[in-house]
Amino acid sequence: MYSRALPYLLILPSLFLAAVVIFWPVYDLVQISTHDVSRFGQLRDFIGLANFAALADDPDFMAALWRTGLWTLSVVAGALVLSIPVAMILNSDFYGRSVARVIILLPWAVSLTMTAVVWRWALNGESGMLNSALMGLGIIDQNIQWLASASTAFPMQVLIGVLVTVPFTVTIFLGGLSSIPDDLYEAAALEGASGWQQFRTITLPLLKPFINIAIVLNMIYVFNSFPIIWVMTQGGPANSTDILVTYLYKLAFRVGKLGEASAVSLVMFAILLVFTMIYVRLAMREREA
Amino acid sequence: MKLARWTAGLLAGLSMLAMAAQAYAGEVRVTVAEYSSKTGPYFEEVKKEFEAANPGTTLKFEVVPWDVLLQKLTTDITAGTNADLSIIGTRWLIDFVQQGVAEPLDEYMTPDFKGRFIETFLSPSIMEGKTYGLPIAASARAMYYNKELFEKAGIANPPSTWTELQEDARKIKAAGAFGYGIQGKEIETDVYYYYAMWSFGTEILNKDGSSGLSTPGALEAAKLYKSMIDEGLTQPGVTSMNREDVMALFKQGKVGMMITAPFMMNQIKEEAPSLKYGVAAIPAGPTGARGTYGVTDSIIMFKNSKNKEEAWKLLDFLFSTEQRAKFTQNEGLLPVNKEEAKMDYYTKDAGLAAFTALLPEARFAPVIPGWEEIAQITSDAVQKIYLGQGEPEATLKDAAAKANGVLKK
C-alpha cells in the first residue's frame, strides 16, 4: 500500500507544476472559447461551440489552416533535405571543420525576429539588397516586388523558414552521425560498396530515429512560428500569407474577438497534441530499441 | 511544456506575470504610446518637474510602441493590472466606455479647463454627453509634393482635383519618377483609400448607418487607384509598402506626391533637409467634395484607478499650454490647445498652416464598436483590388456585406 502510493507522491510536485503551466491555461481557454466574451476578457453568456462554428464558416480561417499545413510541411521537408548533406560534410574530417560548424550553427543564436527584420529590408522592392544583387549579376532587369503578393512573398518566407531551421536540424543529425561506428563504412568499402550505396544502406537506416525526432520537433516548432511571417507581411496582403498563429494574433488583438481567437488556439493545441503523442511514441520506441 | 507555453500561455501567462505589479499609494502609473524616440525623454522630464512640484506623488511612465499598445492594454485590463492613466487611440474609446473601463472626467473639469481645448479635437472623446478622454495628440493628413520633380515635369501648381493629380502623375512618370505614392500595407491602408473615397462623396458610414463601401463613390475611388496602379503612375509593389516605406521613398525624392501626417515635416528637416517640398490640400472630387483624415489620441483615466485625485493633477499639468507646446512640437503634431495654436510656431509655418486649414473637412474614425474589424475588412478588400485579385465592384460589395454584419451586432 505504502509503496504503491509512493510513486504518485513523488510525481506530485511536477504534476502540480504541469497543472499550473498547462492545465490551468487550457481550462481558461476552453472557458473563453465557449463564452461570449468582451474585448477585455470579461465572460458573458455561455454560447457553446458558436465560436468554433464561426471559424468553420470563415474562409480566411480555413485558408490559414491549409496554409499552415503547407508552411509546416515545406519548411520541415526543406530543412531536412538540406540538413542531411550539411551534417554529413560537417561530420567528415577536414581542415577547419570546427570553424565550419560554428558558421552553420551561428544563425541559431540570432533572434528569429531580427532575422526576419533583416530579410524584410533585404526584400524591399526599391532599396532591398536582394534586388540590387540580382540586378548587379544581370539576372533581372527590373526590380521584383517580393512582398507585394503572396506568390513571391510566401515562397520567400518558406525559404527563410528553412534557413533558420537548418542549424537545429544539423545539430540533431551530427549527434546521430557520430554514433555510427566507422568500421561499418570500412567494411562496406572493403566489399566495394559505392558512396551512394553506403549512404542508403548504412547512414540512412541508422540515422532514421534522429530523422524522426527532427521531423516531430521541427513540426511543432515551425507550426507555431510567428516572427517570420508577422514581421515580413503580417499575414497580408489580404490574409494571403496568414498561418494560424498570425491569424490568431490579428483576431485577438486587432479585432478584439477573444472568443474566436481562443477557439483557434484550442484547434492549434489539438493538432499539436497529436504531434506530441507521435513524439512520445517515437521516443519510447527509441528507448526499447 | 513548451507546447502549452506557446498556445495556451498567450493570454494566461501574461496575466500571471502582471499580478506582481501592485499599486502604491501616491503612485500614478501612466501607459504612454511611443510617438517617436522623443516621447520617452519628454515624459522623463514631466516626471522630474511634476514630482518636484508635488512632493509625495511619484509618477511611473510605461512607454509602449503603438503596434503593441492595444494588446498590452487588453491583457492588462483582463488581469486587472492596468495603469491609472493611459493614452489610447480615440477610435478604441467606445470599446473602453461600453465595457465600463473608462472614468468620466466631467466632475473634475472646470469650465476653464474645458475652455483650453479646440472644440474639433475634444468632441471625438465625448460620448453620451460625458467626456471620457482628453485629446493628448491630434493630427490630420495633407498632400506633400516634391517641388523639384514638379519643376522637372513642368507642373506649376499642386493638383486641386483627382483628375489633375492623375495628369500630373503621368508627367512625373515621364520625368522618371513615381507619380503618386499609394500605401498598401499595414496600419491605415484603408485610410489611404478613404482620401479618394471622400472626394467622390462617399462616407465610411451611410446616413442609415450601413457601410458606404457598396456605393458608387466607393467604386469610383477604387477604380481610380487601380487604374493608376495599372498605368504605373504609382510606385511599384503597392501592397508591399506601408506608410513608412512610402514616406521613405518621398524623402529620397523618388515619389512626386503622397498624403500623410504633419510629422513628416519634422522627419524631412532631420533626414532630408535639402528636399524641396510643399504641402497642399487633398485633391477634390468632381463635385468639389474632399476630406482629410483627422486623428486624435486620448488620454483616459481608468475606473479602477486608486489615485484619481493625483492622476487628475497630472492631467491638469500635462494640458498646460507650456507642456502641450513642448509635446506637440517634439512629435510634429497639431495643437489641441487654443492658446497653443496662437503661437508663432504654428501660425507662421506654411506647412502647418496648410494642415490646420484642412481641419474643417476632417473626418474622424466613426465612433462605433467593432471599428477595428471594419477597418481590417476594408484594408483586405482594397489590397485585393490593388493586386487585381478581385473585381472592384464585387470585392467592395462583399466587403460592405461583411462590414454590415459587424455593424448589426
Q: What is the pLDDT of residue A75?
A: 97
Cis ω before A237 (30° cut-off from 0)? yes
- Test mutation, B2, B96, B240, B395, chain A, max A CBs within 10 A: B240
d(CA B166, CA B156): 15
Of A42, A238, A256, the CB nearest to B383: A238
Give the DSSP letter of residue B334.
B
For residue A247, the chain B residues in CB contact (below 8 A) are none
> What residues 53-112 of chain A have any CB closer than 8 A to a CB of chain B?
none
Residue A146: phi, psi to the nearest 5? -55, -45
For residue A28, the chain B residues in CB contact (below 8 A) are 8, 11-12
Q: What is the pLDDT of residue B24?
A: 55
Rounded average pLDDT over A146-156: 93
For residue A266, the chain B residues in CB contact (below 8 A) are 7
Superfamily of domain A43-113+153-288: MetI-like (1.10.3720.10)
For residue A143, the chain B residues in CB contact (below 8 A) are 236-237
Set of cell numbers at residue A97: 571543420
Residue B137: phi, psi to the nearest 5? -145, 140
Rounded average pLDDT over B263-277: 93
Of B74, B99, B236, the CB nearest to A253: B74
CB contact (8 A) between residue B9 and residue A239: no
Residue-wise pLDDT for B354-374, tens only, equals 888 888 788 888 888 888 899
Q: What is the pLDDT of residue B22?
A: 46
Domains of chain B plus CATH, in order, are 15-139+295-363 (3.40.190.10), 141-292+367-408 (3.40.190.10)
Q: Is B9 exposed, middle or buried (0-12, 13-18, 19+ CB in 10 A)?
A: buried
Q: For A31-60, b where at least 16 C-beta lie within 10 A, e where not — what string?
A: ebbbbebbbbbeeeeeeeebbbeebeeeeb
Residue-wise pLDDT for A79-114, tens only, equals 999 999 999 999 988 899 999 999 988 888 889 999
CB contact (8 A) between residue A236 and residue B186: yes
Q: Is B247 exposed, middle or buried (0-12, 13-18, 19+ CB in 10 A)?
A: buried
**Stretch among A237-251, A273-287, B151-165, B283-297 having the lowest mean pLDDT:** A273-287
Residue-wise pLDDT for B228-238, tens only, equals 999 999 999 99
Instruction: List the beta strands (DSSP E) in B161-204.
Output: 178-180
pLDDT at B18 over 50: no
Chain B closest-CA separation from residue A260 CA (Å): 13
Set of cell numbers at residue B397: 460589395
pTM over 0.80: yes
For residue B184, the chain A residues in CB contact (below 8 A) are 148, 237
**Stretch among A61-70, A270-279, B56-65, B383-392 having the lowest mean pLDDT:** A270-279
For chain A, the structural domain boundaries read 43-113+153-288
> How much is the mean pLDDT over chain B?
89
User: Would an 8 Å CB–CB cutoff place A113 in contact with chain B?
Assistant: no
Rounded average pLDDT over B283-288: 92
Q: What is the pLDDT of residue B187?
A: 85
d(CA B5, CA A26): 10
Cross-strand pairs, B297: B89, B137
CA-based Rg of chain A, rounded to a whole angstrom? 24
CA angle A218/A242/B74 to nearest 5° reads 100
Q: What is the pLDDT of residue B95?
A: 86
For residue A237, the chain B residues in CB contact (below 8 A) are 184-185, 239-240, 383-384, 386-387
Residue-wise pLDDT for B316-366, tens only, equals 999 999 999 999 998 989 988 888 888 888 888 888 888 888 887 888 888
CB contact (8 A) between residue B383 and residue A236: yes
Of B1, B11, B239, the CB nearest to A237: B239
d(CA A257, CA A55): 11
pLDDT at B10 over 50: no
Residue pair A88/A203 in contact by the 8 Å Cβ criterion: yes
Set of cell numbers at residue A154: 510566401
User: Would an 8 Å CB–CB cutoff place A254 in contact with chain B?
Assistant: yes
Q: What is the pLDDT of residue A240?
A: 93
Beta carbons within 8 Å of A128's beta carbon, 6+ residues apart:
A121, A122, A146
pLDDT at B290 over 90: no
